């Protein structure tokens, strides 16, 4: 099933961010990933459905759709989470502190993808919890 990309309804991902590259800001005491201001929605949707995406669900996940979808674009690790469960997702740059806690097998799959996209060093730093 192809996934639909839907921005979060509150558009918080665009609030206060007009940079041409992905980055992070502190909002309510939490580091929040911001997509490049010029990233077209078509690319975001392509990343959700690309054959190399990495779907992940924690053990005992009760749903038929993945809890998260990971992909890499221009050296940046992105995570997508459901907006309308079973139908659509919203993606954003992965927070290195959260990437650090991913299961080993997911990290290995992400690193293998990063290697094919010539950005293993940057993605490896993220998976080690470093910006």
39-51 residue pLDDT tens:
999 999 999 999 9
Question: What pLDDT is recorded for position 27?
Answer: 85
- Give Cβ neighbours of residue 111 (< 8 Å, ≥ 6 apart): 120, 123, 124, 127
**Does position 13 have pLDDT exceeding 60, yes or no?**
no
Q: Which H helix or E strand runs over 123?
A: helix 120-127
Distances (CA, A) of 22 to 57, 70, 115, 127: 25, 15, 20, 16
pTM as predicted: 0.92
Mean pLDDT of 6-18: 68
Question: What pLDDT is recorded for position 131?
Answer: 78
Tokens of 76: 């940046």
Q: Which residue has better confidence, 10 or 65?
A: 65
The Cα–Cα gap between 108 and 99 comes to 12
| Mean pLDDT taken over the chain | 92
């Amino acid at each position: 099933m192809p996934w639909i990309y839907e921005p979060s309804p509150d558009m918080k991902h665009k609030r206060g961010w007009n940079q041409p590259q992905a980055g992070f800001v502190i909002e309510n005491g939490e580091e929040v990933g911001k997509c490049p201001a010029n990233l077209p929605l078509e690319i975001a949707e392509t990343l959700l459905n690309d054959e190399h995406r990495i779907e992940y669900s924690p053990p005992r996940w009760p749903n038929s759709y993945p809890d998260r979808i990971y992909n890499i674009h221009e050296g940046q690790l992105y995570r997508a989470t459901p907006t309308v469960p079973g139908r659509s997702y919203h993606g954003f740059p992965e927070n290195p502190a959260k990437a650090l806690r991913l299961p080993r097998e997911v990290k290995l799959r992400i690193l293998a993808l990063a290697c094919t996209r010539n950005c293993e060093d940057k993605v490896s730093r993220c998976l080690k919890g470093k910006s």
